[in-house]
Structure formats: C-alpha cells, structure tokens
Structure 1
C-alpha cells in the first residue's frame, strides 16, 4: 500500500507512475478523499477537546456559583455527547473508504523499469546457455510424459477436473527430486532459512502481500473462511507481520517448498494441454526482508540464486526485465526467468523475482528499528520463485529428451534419483 502522505506531496509522481502502468490518474480523487477524512478527524477531535474543556468550565462556574453559565455549559456538553458519535463514525467510514481505495492502487515502478503496455515491452537482460542441438524432432512435455507412461491427465480429470496432473513412478520421483534439489541449494549455499508453514491463511495474510482485495477471484477459499495459498510468498512474508525487527538482524531470508493453489480465473483457454498452467503445483519460494538501502542489491542477489538452479540443471534461459505494463501489482521492479522449451520452440516463464519496496511492509505493519534510534521504518520485501517445480520438470523433459523417447536425468539431480540415470518407457 502506498503512503497517503507521499501521495499528497507527490500527486504528479503518482499519476505519472499509474500512466506508465496503463492505469487512470487517481491522485486528485485520493487527495480529495483524504481531505474529507482529515476534516472528519479534526471535527471529532475538536468536539472531544471542547467537551473536555466545557466539563472543566462547568466545575469552575459552579465554584463561582454561576448557575446560569453552568447550565449553559451542561447543555453544550449534552449536545456534544449527541453529535460526537456521529462525527467519530464519519471518521471511521472515511478512513475505511480511503484504506480500501489505497489497497487497490498498484505500486510505483522504479525509474529504470522499461515503459510498455504488455509483455511485448519486456527487455532481455541476459541470456544463459544454448539451445540443445539434436538430430531428432523435439516434443512437448505431455507427449513425452504420456509416451513414457508416467503422466496421466485422464485420471487427473477423473479425480479433480481440468488443470490437474497425475505423475507416477520415475516422473513423480523426478518432480520430488527437483524440489529437494532447489531447497537444498538455497539453504545449503544461498543462506536461506527453510520454513514449513501453513497452506491455509486468514484474510489478513492475503491482504498483507497484496492478494486481497484485488485478486480474490484468482484464489481458492475454504468453507471456514481461510484461503489456500497461491504461493508461499504469503506465509513467508507474513512471518514478520505486525512485528518490529532489530535492524542488525536484517536481511532475513526464507525459503519453502510447498504446493500452491490458483484458480487461473483469467486464463480460460490458455495452456489447457499439459501441466504448464495448473490449479495445484509445487514451487520453491524465496523471500527476503530488508531495509530500504539493501533492497536493490538483494533483488540482484535473489535473481542470481534463482538463475543458479537453471544453470546447475544445464537449461538454456534468459532473464527479462519486465516493463511497467506486465509487472505485478505489488512490484517496483521484476525480473522474469524464461526457460527454453524445445517442444514449444519458445521461452516460457519459470521464475519471477520482484522487489516491492515498503508496499507490503506497510500493509502488514512490519517495521524495523535502527540501533540507537527511537523511530521505526517499514521493512522492504522481496519475493521470487526459486523455481516453479512443475515448469522445471517440463523443461527437463523437453531439453533432455533422447531420440528413443527416453529422458536423461541432469547430473545435478542424480543424488536424488536413487541410482536412476535415465527415464525409459514403462514396461
């Protein structure tokens, strides 16, 4: 959430940022609403102050035996007792209205973010590795998985409907191996602390990281009012909600390997074949909690950690800087890692690493206090996939396909595969 004080002082900057995102100007309406709220606050405060002052004046008037003045003051206090609740209710309603509007305003992009309307405005930052060179024709992952006999969409549909997959045997183990490899790399070499956290959260947690109220349709909700997490970013970031951290303990770096759940409400008809866009998928998430000064450098570090996963797997990929029109709601800058998929003859996103400034810290009321200082500041947060396990599985299948239809296991995954070096057709 943006700071209304900053908006009052920088209305042109807000509208310019919104224009870069392709959104309508809001500064004037936000400032006007805030003026009404501040006026209501002042009215309630003035009434309260006058009631307290008049109550003291009643005592003074009675001490001076000025009954006429005392009665007049009593009548004034009685009137204030009637009007004050209405003034306080107006203040509460306007504050709630302002907070609701502010909660739907996207974050302000950094100045170095390329301006563009959609993904066509994204910029290639770097490209790593090379496309595989074969004598045989590439295939899409679902062709490979079904041919091997270990990827079953019909049974998944029988169990749960569309956008689910059943993996068995060595493909199920390969999925597990990928997740274990990622979490071991990030905890063992990259300094992240592994966390096992709930998969269901309250409204407050979803609000804190920006999923609510704007993206409720993209989420799954339980019958008792909890939400299934669309990403472990929600739980890892909210670990520090409503807390005041000591500055010297920053940055905090968390990682988790969890299922994620998304309704894919806005993707009707997209990627319906295979397991590219699922309602349920495994993801290794990275979250950093930092101060303002460290956030940009932490963004580069986090992105490098996610890139290392793909490097160790020997996958060809590129790192993109997202433009303003393609960037997420809470981000100030985002790098997407796009892995090469031979079966589709294109790059597809496999990780997204974002720096959010204090946007989430403000929503969560998460702060830090510098040593020797009385005041506090909102934490700055970052999140990224390190990486999406299902899409990584797709990339391994398509890039390590052999001419006979088998799939070679990348060297980095061999310690997790129980001696299996190649996945071959089921007998």
Structure 2
C-alpha cells in the first residue's frame, strides 16, 4: 500500500473475526508498532539482535557421504594417499567428506571457516560451502578460507560444507582436527537481476573411460556409465545425486547427466561463470575453458594449473555411456548447458516503509525471523505468495513477497505501493 495509506503506529488496531487475522502480539512481531510497545510484545526470538552465527562441525561421526577418508581420535586423514579422482589424472591423492546440512535461524550469505589442520608443503585442505534458500534451491559451491570468506550469490537459511583433503605430490597428507563455520548476512546491496536461462557453451569433449576408477564424489566408474566431469568443484554433485547436472548435445542427440567428477586438466576452472565470479583465469571469456585457451592460444604458456602441457582443448569429460549416447565416436565439440546456472525469475525493486521490519522464513508472522530492515529502503522482490492474513487500521492483506537478498518473506503491507498484490511479480 502507498505510504500515505499505511497504518500508523499510534493507530494500530486489529479487526477480529477472520480465523487467520493476526493478533496485536503478532502485529508487534511484524513491527507495525514501534517503540516500547513493540519491544514488550515481540516474540522471544525477535528480541535478540540478528548477527553472525557460528557452529562447530562434528568430525567424529561418519556422515554417510565421504570418500577415502579415515578417522582417528576425532581427526580426518586420507585413507589411501594414492587414490585420486579419475578425470583430473593428478598425482595427488584426494578424499572428501560431505558435512550434514545446518539449518539456521537467520539469513546468511558470507561464510568463513576456522580450520585447525596440519597441512604439509604441497598438500591442501579445501572447505567448500553452499546454501539453500527459502525457495529450496541450492547455490553453487564456493571455496572458503579464513582470509577469503565465501560470498554466496544469494541469502540462504541452510548451509552445507564439503571438506576435501589433497596430498602433496610426494605423498605427504594433511590432518584435519577441527572446523568451525561462521556465517553472517554480509552483502545485500545486489543489483537487479533479469531472468536468464541456464548458461550454454560449446566445448571440446573427451571420453573419460577409466572403468573401475573413482570419481571426485566417490562414485566407482562402471562400463557404459552416464555422468560428466567438469574442471571445477563448484558444480560437483554429491555421490548418487543429480543436484548439479548438464545437458550435453552431440551429433546424434542430447542427454542430461550429473556432474560426478572434476577434470579434465584443471580443478579450479569454472569456465561457465562470468569473470566477475570465475574462480581462476578471470581474463578468459565466459564459456572458454583454460585448457582450450592454453592449447589453441598458448595461454598460461600452454600449461594447465598444475604446470602440465595441455595436449587437447577439453573442457568436459564424458563417461562412456554418455559419450556414445550423444553420438560421439571420437573426441569432439558438444553443446553443454549448465542447468544449475539459471537465474530463475527476474527480480523487481520496490520501496519499503517502516523501521525494524522483520523478514520471515515463511509467509507468516509466527515463523522464524531471518533478517530485518532497519528503516525504509529498496528491496528486490523475486515472487509473492498468499500467506497469513494481516489486518490493521482497516487494511487487510495476505500477500507476502520473497526477497532473495534476505532469504525470506516480508508482508506486502510494508511494500510502499498502492497495490496489495504487486504488479508484474509472479507467484512463488
């Protein structure tokens, strides 16, 4: 509703009658009121300020989704220092642990790990994190370190971590003793995003083969297998899942296949991302793998990230079943759509009014408060839904808007426009 039509704090009242109409207590939690009355009536979870949240990852118990990792005295170690992901063909052993998801009581987008580990020279421990937003979509994985926190592309209320242990070329392996994760809402000043289909590029494909080998997510390769490898952990699916998949189109047909391995050539080359968020090789155009640039143009001295001479321009490896199914008999170019990169619905910006306006995990005033708007501002709305009916000062509205930058919903009463149902905004 428009600012000059909104209910004022001094005149707040609630019409009783409809079963879903909120009480004065709930309205206070929504901050229709302000000052001492709002503080007195707020629900307990609304009294505490929203800030960062921290938790310790339990490393002692098996997670059910781990590869080549052993536990001794609560530490993580490589079980076999010679076991390595098939596609990358690296000389370094690797093991991974997928940590159980963590549900949070607030929206976050900035994750910082605090790692206690012994890492010999040439070895590595990587902590990748991802998040799930209020609409149920997972972000891409992002590597995080104490000096370089992971900024997720949108606010989330569930966080998952993945720990990767990598040995040195001489076999020396890391030992992980403890991991804590700190999370906060660090950046909500994002620009409006237009709806966009998943990104598509033409890249050179090679056949992975290597039956009996183990992929980066722990899958043991079988004959006529169906999966792909990409040269970055950012799009690696958990074992047995298709959470990150590609659509590969070859000479004969297309196939949708999960990303289960990391390679070929590189392991930090998310070439499907624009340079602004690409992990490495940011000076290359989007869609051009580093291996292709190295092979064709002499980029990076013709070497991959490990210093190996690049012998073909491959930006994707295809398991045997996928390779032959799309119509390839020899290595060649295919069209690849990275299905998780779709931006989904467009966002539309709207002004808000009110101070200390709460954003809820669900479209109801009794659900968890995940963020708060300190004062009037502009928000990006992705979609809207009919939720709990709010009545105040003669106005009724059951519409709530989903704000991707905060990972939750706000009552449309606080959107400073004349319409109760926002024009041009789709239903969630």
Normalising by the smaller structure, the TM-score range is: under 0.3
Which structure has the larger Rg over C-alpha atoms?
A: 1
Q: TM-score, normalised by structure 2?
A: 0.23
Q: TM-score, normalised by structure 1?
A: 0.23
